[in-house]
Structure 1
Amino acid sequence: MDATKKPLRISPELGVYAEKHGVFQMLQRMLQCLLVDRPQDPIQYMIDHFKKENDEVPRVFLLGPPVSGKLSIAKLLCDQINTNLLTLDNMLAGGKSESADEIQKLKAKAQDIPNTLWAKLILERLSKTDCIKRGWVLVGFPKTREQAMAIQELGIAPEHVVILDAPDTVLIERNLGKRIDPVTKEIYHTIFNWPTSTKIQNRLEKPPGITEEETVKRLLEYRQVSHGVLNSYSKKYHIINADQPSVDVLSQVLSHVQSRHRSVAPYTPRIILHGPPGSGRSLQAAMIAEKYRIVNVSCGQLLREAVAAETRLGETIKPYVESRQPVPDVMVMKCMAQRLSKLDCSTWGWVMHGFPQDLVQAEMLKDAGFLANRVFFMEVPDDAVIERLSMRMVDPTTGKRSLKARTTRLKDSFYPTVIRLFNGSLLQ
């Protein structure tokens, strides 16, 4: 950036670097943490935030009705992504804090535990180094909107909220077959997860609350309050059907957890259309440039403009153009670099066609710092290409090309397909 000239010109390499390294997302995350934590020394806080390098670690809530398999799937998930499994029970068992002690005292007296106290316990656990470095999967909390609001007030926000659900009849049937190991506290099932060891089988016990009446009561309580949790994370939750093999459930959960939310970062389209002669590159580039208000960069047109302007580069290119010989790659690249470096291309983006035509040119474009974020290969059968080129007509006055008696039909058949592709990928 040259601060001595107005308007300020930002080099195209800066946009490429920012997109490649996620600079905008990094700053967005840092600003969110800054607003939530409100540190006394913001500068030092931001420095410490960068040193943590934990923006990409998983932060997952795994929720669902009773007997939906939350804990089993969470264990498998944590093994896959190498993160921490958190439940209210293991946080109480392993926590040595005022919050944990207070909760244990309230439990001993059979008193209700405030949501704020649960939230404080979770915050203390998430503040430890292992959760900061490796992330976490919190199972079974929050259960109500009040609990969700309590943890949100402390700045606890997941990246993904996964909800396992299944029909009530399936859940009731599952609960009737549940068994628990009194020694290890592992949960087994008479149908889905029966231990192979005879010793473990003999000591399994029926846990309390697995009768049909008690299960129905728990499911009814869950259904009555679950909508509040969904409203609290309306833009983040994803419901997965738990009435299928655990391998399939894990696959879907893992796929969702590893996905990224759509970025709101400023996006500059840099598109290359590649295809054989007669594939419609120039026509599609013109329509895309008009629809999305980006710059249409035609390699052939740039070379002709340079010759017509009688610039130093144009005078060098002129003999090749007049004799219809291929222009050397170095000269073509210099002409393209001059156009792509202009302010309109850096600001609005561009759609390029006619260049690069081979691997050498593609490497030159990459080395010059002009990286495309969308490349489309337009495939057309050879017979169709020959037919199009043989019917091509050129206006000697304007230089525009068209296909005799087929221009309108080709435009109508091509345009919806390509624009549909760009609607799905260009602006995401």
Structure 2
Amino acid sequence: MDATSAPHLIPPEMPQYGEANHIFEMMQNLLEQLLIYQPQDPIPFMIEHLSRDNDNVPKIVILGPPASGKTTIAMWLCKHLNSNLLTMENLIEKEFSHLASEAKNHYQKFKKVPSTLLVRLIHERLKDEDYIKRGWILDGIPETREQALMIQTLGIMPRHVIVLSAPDTVLIERNVGKRIDPRTGEIYHTTFDWPPEPEIQDRLAMPEGISEMETAQKLLEYHRNIVRILPCYPKILKVISSDQPCVDVFYQALTYVQTNHRSNAPFTPRVLLCGPVGSGKSLQAALLAQKYGLVNVPDSIIMKVLTHRLKEQDCVQKGWVLHGFPRDLDQAHLLDSLGHKPNRVFFLNVPLDSVIERLTLRRTDPVTGERYHLMCKPPPTMEIQARLLQNPKDAEEQVKLKMDLFYRNSAELEEFYVDAITINADQDPYTVFEYIESGIINPLPKKIF
């Protein structure tokens, strides 16, 4: 564009298309790949990368000390996300791979694989078509800072890193109680998972390397390494306590890996606040408009004027917050058909009793115009209280009718706005605002991969 012709009139369709199709993130990812691999001919490289369409597949690293349950969590995530699990064991077991054979021989002799060989093996495996399409989960790798940096140098960048933690005393107790069935390979525990069958109990054996002294030594080595690994993943790291039921650990991990990280893309908020009368929509809209410079669009504007208003440049450039409209599914379809699609929708939920308390106790001083609330902001004198008046629309019967009308339509609106965020608005308004603000500045959580 010619800078001399500024200011430029930006059609509202442009930012909507860019946000809906993640154009900025796509270009950023392409640039990262170009800088990492530096292909001789960038155009075919970019075409091939785009054709893979795998920018959102799982790329997860799970770390943790011995007996923290990282392998179990990795396996559950792998099954839930339909991804590929990479462990030291299955890396070195690949058939017809020279690197895998070399690593297996080294592991059998020394119980470890050199970092350079291990990273080359990971790099080789991640080139497989299945790993490109379905992503991967690294279990317990990298083990050292050296490995982490080597992996990054090859352009292998996880999107989520989970570190499990627990007190050493808990981990030692877990580890020393492990027993294995040599016939089936099934793992049991003397305290937490002891088999009821006497014949299985009799043949259980203690695995090698799990004595208290050996476990303590492994924990010491882990602690030395993990503090140097963590700075390699400053913005994609989540620490989860594994000193809790395994199912709870899994759901915390699953929630995290299904959450998008903050994007550097320019973002123009188009916010829709839905909620019954008395839910605080107007206050929240005013707070958003004040803090972020959004254009506050009240519900009293009719459709034709509203459409014209949303197309003006301040709305296109700064964004907008709309409250009290649409009220039903037909209005939502009409708003959508005119090209005004909100990118954040919030439903403010308040129980009927709380709404009645909020509205029916409102009063106005006819002399000064001052507004009061008999519970939250009572009048200062009995003289003022005696002359206060209630607006007819705040009568309990009217409030109940409006609440009933809203909830008759809200179910269809919630189905229409499938990515809507529901918020408990029956709390301090500034707490509600913090939840709304968090929902705006953070990406919407992914339902599934």
Q: What range is the shorter-chain TM-score in?
A: 0.7 to 0.9
Specify whether residues 47 and 235 from structure 1 end up closer, same or farther in structure 2 by C-alpha distance, changes over 3 A only. same
> What is the aligned partner in structure 1 of residue 421 from structure 2?
none
Determine if contact 1:273/1:378 at 8 Å carries over to the other structure.
no
User: Are residue 359 (structure 1) and residue 325 (structure 2) matched?
Assistant: no
> What is the aligned partner in structure 2 of residue 140 from structure 1?
140
1:362 partner amino acid:
A
> What is the aligned partner in structure 1 of residue 25 from structure 2?
25
Deviates more, 1:206-215 or 1:14-23: 14-23
> What is the aligned partner in structure 2 of residue 341 from structure 1?
311
Determine if contact 1:66/1:219 at 8 Å carries over to the other structure.
yes
User: Are residue 423 (structure 1) and residue 437 (structure 2) matched?
Assistant: yes
Deviates more, 1:414-423 or 1:117-126: 414-423
User: Are residue 381 (structure 1) and residue 355 (structure 2) matched?
Assistant: yes
Question: Which 5+ residue runs of structure 1 have no aligned equivalent?
Answer: 303-331, 395-401
Query: What is the TM-score of this pair, normalised by structure 2?
Result: 0.74
Q: Write out per-residue CA displacement over residues 55-112 of structure 1, whole angstroms, 9 at most, x where no aligned residue.
A: 2211111211112222233223322222212111211111433322333454466497
* 1:87-98 → structure 2 map (5 Å cutoff): 87-98=87-98
Determine if contact 2:294/2:319 at 8 Å carries over to the other structure.
yes
Deviation at 1:289, TM superposition (A): 2.1
1:131 partner amino acid:
Y
1:125 partner amino acid:
R
Deviation at 1:341, TM superposition (A): 1.1
1:226 partner amino acid:
I
> What is the aligned partner in structure 2 of residue 207 from structure 1?
207
Could you say what secondary structure the match of 1:137 adopts?
Answer: strand
Q: Write out per-residue CA displacement over residues 301-357 of structure 1, whole angstroms, 9 at most, x where no aligned residue.
A: x6xxxxxxxxxxxxxxxxxxxxxxxxxxxxx32322121112211110012345434
Determine if contact 2:268/2:317 at 8 Å carries over to the other structure.
yes
Specify whether residues 153 and 337 from structure 1 end up closer, same or farther in structure 2 by C-alpha distance, changes over 3 A only. same
Determine if contact 2:280/2:429 at 8 Å carries over to the other structure.
no
* 1:398-413 → structure 2 map (5 Å cutoff): 403-406=369-372
> What is the aligned partner in structure 1 of residue 294 from structure 2?
294
Larger radius of gyration: 1
* 1:99-248 → structure 2 map (5 Å cutoff): 99-107=99-107, 110=110, 113-182=113-182, 185-194=185-194, 203-248=203-248
1:236 partner amino acid:
I
Determine if contact 1:77/1:254 at 8 Å carries over to the other structure.
yes
Specify whether residues 284 and 202 from structure 1 end up closer, same or farther in structure 2 by C-alpha distance, changes over 3 A only. closer
Could you say what secondary structure the match of 2:239 adopts?
Answer: strand
Could you say what secondary structure the match of 1:381 adopts?
Answer: helix
Specify whether residues 194 and 333 from structure 1 end up closer, same or farther in structure 2 by C-alpha distance, changes over 3 A only. same
2:322 partner amino acid:
M
Question: Which 5+ residue runs of structure 2 have no aligned equivalent?
Answer: 379-426, 443-449
> What is the aligned partner in structure 1 of residue 338 from structure 2?
368
Q: What is the CA–CA distance in structure 2 between the aligned matches of 1:223 and 1:112, rounded to whole Å?
A: 18
Q: What is the CA–CA distance in structure 1 between the aligned matches of 2:279 and 2:221, rounded to whole Å?
A: 61
> What is the aligned partner in structure 2 of residue 16 from structure 1?
16
Could you say what secondary structure the match of 2:263 adopts?
Answer: coil
Q: Write out per-residue CA displacement over residues 382-427 of structure 1, whole angstroms, 9 at most, x where no aligned residue.
A: 5754665x63879xxxxxxx942549969xx987456444433333
Specify whether residues 74 and 409 from structure 1 end up closer, same or farther in structure 2 by C-alpha distance, changes over 3 A only. same
Specify whether residues 231 and 277 from structure 1 end up closer, same or farther in structure 2 by C-alpha distance, changes over 3 A only. closer
Deviation at 1:286, TM superposition (A): 4.4
Q: What is the CA–CA distance in structure 2 between the aligned matches of 1:368 and 1:424, rounded to whole Å?
A: 28
User: Are residue 267 (structure 1) and residue 267 (structure 2) matched?
Assistant: yes
Specify whether residues 115 and 279 from structure 1 end up closer, same or farther in structure 2 by C-alpha distance, changes over 3 A only. closer
Determine if contact 1:58/1:159 at 8 Å carries over to the other structure.
yes
Could you say what secondary structure the match of 1:122 adopts?
Answer: helix
Q: What is the CA–CA distance in structure 1 between the aligned matches of 2:303 and 2:161, rounded to whole Å?
A: 48
Q: Write out per-residue CA displacement over residues 238-292 of structure 1, whole angstroms, 9 at most, x where no aligned residue.
A: 2222233322222222222222223333221222345677877656544532321
Q: What is the CA–CA distance in structure 1 between the aligned matches of 2:147 and 2:193, rounded to whole Å?
A: 32
Q: Write out per-residue CA displacement over residues 146-171 of structure 1, whole angstroms, 9 at most, x where no aligned residue.
A: 11111111111211112222221222
Deviation at 1:376, TM superposition (A): 5.2
1:391 partner amino acid:
T
User: Are residue 60 (structure 1) and residue 60 (structure 2) matched?
Assistant: yes
> What is the aligned partner in structure 2 of residue 40 from structure 1?
40
Deviates more, 1:159-168 or 1:289-298: 289-298
Q: What is the CA–CA distance in structure 2 between the aligned matches of 1:73 and 1:276, rounded to whole Å?
A: 42
Could you say what secondary structure the match of 1:296 adopts?
Answer: strand
Could you say what secondary structure the match of 2:43 adopts?
Answer: helix
Deviates more, 1:370-379 or 1:344-353: 370-379
Deviates more, 1:53-62 or 1:95-104: 95-104
Specify whether residues 47 and 207 from structure 1 end up closer, same or farther in structure 2 by C-alpha distance, changes over 3 A only. same
Q: Aligned residue pairs: how many? A: 388
Could you say what secondary structure the match of 2:19 adopts?
Answer: helix
- 365, 387, 391: which one pairs with 2:364? 391
Could you say what secondary structure the match of 2:138 adopts?
Answer: strand
Deviation at 1:227, TM superposition (A): 0.5
Q: What is the CA–CA distance in structure 1 between the aligned matches of 2:221 and 2:45, rounded to whole Å?
A: 43
Deviates more, 1:340-349 or 1:254-263: 254-263
Q: What is the CA–CA distance in structure 2 between the aligned matches of 1:199 and 1:18, rounded to whole Å?
A: 64
Deviates more, 1:341-350 or 1:13-22: 13-22
Specify whether residues 8 and 148 from structure 1 end up closer, same or farther in structure 2 by C-alpha distance, changes over 3 A only. same
Could you say what secondary structure the match of 1:271 adopts?
Answer: strand
Deviation at 1:210, TM superposition (A): 2.0
Deviation at 1:370, TM superposition (A): 0.8
Could you say what secondary structure the match of 1:234 adopts?
Answer: coil
